[in-house]
Amino acid sequence: MSKQSSTSRKSLCLAAAAAFSVYFCMYAFRKPFTAAAFQNQEVFNYELKSVMIISQLLGYMLSKFIGIRLVSELDRKYRALAIVGLIVFAELALVLFAVLPDETKVIAMFLNGLPLGMVFGFVLSFLEGRTTTEALSAALCASFIMSSGVVKSIGQWLIQVQGIDEFYMPMVTGLIFFLPLLISVWVLQQTPPPSTVDELARNKRSTMNKGDRWNFFVAYWPGLLALFAVYVTLTIIRTFRDDFGVEIWQGLGVSDKPSVYASSETIVMVIVTMLNAVAIYMRNNLRALRVTFIIMTIAFLLLVGSTIVQNRGEISPLGYMVLCGIGLYIPYVAFHTTVFERIVSASNLRGNLVFLMYLADSIGYLGYVVLLSAKPWFDTSADKLSLFQNTLYSLGGFAILCLLIATVYFQKTLSQEQTGNPEQA
C-alpha cells in the first residue's frame, strides 16, 4: 500500500511539472509580441500594438466560447493531440505575422489567438477532481504568472542582443519552445485518472453535454454571475498589466533591463503558488470556499493599497510590481485552483471544473475586448501606468462587493444541498 501511495505521489508530481511546462511553453506562442514596442507604427490610424492586442484577444475570446463546449465534452484520449494541433496552428499564424504586410498582420494575430484559448482547459482537465487539485492547479497557474515575464525577457533579448526583427521575434520565440512543449505534452498524457478516494471527496468528473451545462448554470446563476463579475475585473486588470507591461515599467522609470520582467513575476509566482496550494489541507469544501473568498478580498485591498503607496513615492518600481502582482494573482489563481473546483465538489449536480472556467474566461475576455474597443482615448494615451492604476482603483471596490454577494449566496445554497449529503461538504 505504501509503495502504491509513493507511486501515486510521483505520478502527480510529474503531472504538476508537465502541466506547468506545457502552459509555460504555450505563452511563447501567445505573448512574445508584447515585448516589442512597435514605436511610431500605426495601422488604420491606430497604434499598431494596440490593434495587434485587440486582434489576438478577439481570436482568444472566441476560442474561450468554443471551449465551453469543446473542452468540456472532448474525451480524455484526444486531449494531448488537441493541444499539439492547437500549438502548431498558432505557430503557423506567427509565421504569417512575420511575412504579411502591416495591414494584414491583424488577421495573423487573430488566427494566432484562435486556437490558444483552449489549451488551458485541456491541460486543466488532466488535473481536476482530485484531493490535490489545488496544488496541481497552482503549479499550472504558476506557469502563466512566470511565463509571461520570461517570454517578454526572451523577446527583448532576441531584439536587443540578437538583432531579430520585431515582427520575426514572436515566430522565433515559438520555435525555441516547440520541442519542450512536445515532451511536456507526452508526459502529461501519462497522468492517471482520479482515484476512488478523489471521487468520494470531490465528486466524479465527467464530460458535460448541453443539458448538463444548462442545468448547472441555472441552479447557481446568482452566485455565478457575481463571481463572473469579479473574474471580468481580474481579467481586465491582469491582461492590461500583461499586455502593456513594458509601458508600465517605463512609466515607473525602468526601460533598459529585460530581466526585470522575469524577476518580478518569478517572485509573484512563488508566493501566489504557495498560498493557493494550501487549500488542499481543507477537506470541507464549503469551509475552503469561504476562506478563499476572504483571502481574495484581502488581495484586492492589497492591490489598491500598494498603488496608493506607489503614488506617494514610498516604494520601488520592483516592490510595487511585485505587490501588485501578488494582489492580482492571488484571486485570479484562486478561481483556477479552488473556487470553481470546490463549487463543483460541493454540488449535487453533474459538472466539471473546465466548464465553469471557460464560461468565466469567455465573459472575462469579452469584457476586456469591449474595454479596449470602446475607449478611443486608449490608443492615444501614452501614460499606460496612470491608465492601469485608475482602472485598478475603479474596479477594486466593485470586485470586493461582488465577492461578498457570492460568499453569502454559495454558503446558503450549497449548505442547504449538503443537509442531506453531509459527506460531500
- Confidence at residue 111, expressed as pLDDT on a 0 to 100 scale: 96
Give Cβ neighbours of residue 356 (< 8 Å, ≥ 6 apart). 216, 224, 340, 343, 344
- Confidence at residue 256, expressed as pLDDT on a 0 to 100 scale: 58
- Confidence at residue 421, expressed as pLDDT on a 0 to 100 scale: 54
Angle between helices 259-277 and 317-334 (to 10 degrees): 40
Nearest-angstrom CA–CA distance, 280 and 139: 13
Specify the pTM: 0.76
- Confidence at residue 425, expressed as pLDDT on a 0 to 100 scale: 47
Nearest-angstrom CA–CA distance, 121 and 135: 17
Nearest-angstrom CA–CA distance, 353 and 177: 28
User: In this structure, how many other beta carbons lie within 10 angstroms of the beta carbon of residue 182?
Assistant: 15
Q: What does the domain layout of the chain look like in residue ranges?
A: 8-187+196-424
C-alpha cell at 278: 494550501
Considering the four listed CATH numbers 3.90.950.10, 1.20.1250.20, 3.30.465.10, 1.10.287.90, the one that applies to the domain covering 8-187+196-424 is: 1.20.1250.20
User: In this structure, how many other beta carbons lie within 10 angstroms of the beta carbon of residue 374?
Assistant: 8
- Confidence at residue 90, expressed as pLDDT on a 0 to 100 scale: 96
Q: Are 44 and 255 in contact (CB under 8 A)?
A: no
3-state secondary structure the chain: CHHHHHHHHHHHHHHHHHHHHHHHHHHHHHCHHHHCCCCCCEECCEEHHHHHHHHHHHHHHHHHHHHHHHHHHCCHHHHHHHHHHHHHHHHHHHHHHHHCCHHHHHHHHHHHHHHHCCHHHHHHCCCCCCCCHHHHHHHHHHHHHHHHHHHHHHHHHHHHCCCCCCCCHHHHHHHHHHHHHHHHHHHHHCCCCCCHHHHHHHCCCCCCCHHHHHHHHHHHHHHHHHHHHHHHHHHHHHHHHHHCHHHHHHHCCCCCCCHHHHHHHHHHHHHHHHHHHHHHHCCCHHHHHHHHHHHHHHHHHHHHHHHHHHHCCCCCHHHHHHHHHHHHHHHHHHHHHHHHHHHHHHCCCCCCHHHHHHHHHHHHHHHHHHHHHHCHHHHHCCCHHHHHHHHHHHHHHHHHHHHHHHHHHHHHHHHHHHCCCHHHC
Triad 240, 244, 249: Cα angle to 5°: 120
Nearest-angstrom CA–CA distance, 171 and 191: 30
Q: What is the pLDDT of residues 229-280, one digit of tens each?
A: 999 888 888 877 777 777 787 788 776 555 666 667 778 877 887 777 777 7
Per-residue pLDDT of the chain (425 residues; tens, 9 = 90+): 444 455 467 777 888 899 999 999 999 999 888 888 777 777 777 777 778 888 898 999 899 999 888 888 888 889 999 999 999 999 999 999 999 988 888 899 999 999 999 999 899 888 888 888 888 888 887 787 778 778 888 988 898 888 898 889 999 999 999 999 999 999 999 888 888 888 888 878 777 888 989 999 999 999 999 999 999 888 888 877 777 777 787 788 776 555 666 667 778 877 887 777 777 778 888 888 999 999 999 999 998 898 898 888 888 888 888 888 888 888 988 898 889 989 988 888 888 888 898 999 888 888 877 776 665 545 455 577 887 888 788 888 889 999 999 999 999 998 887 665 544 44
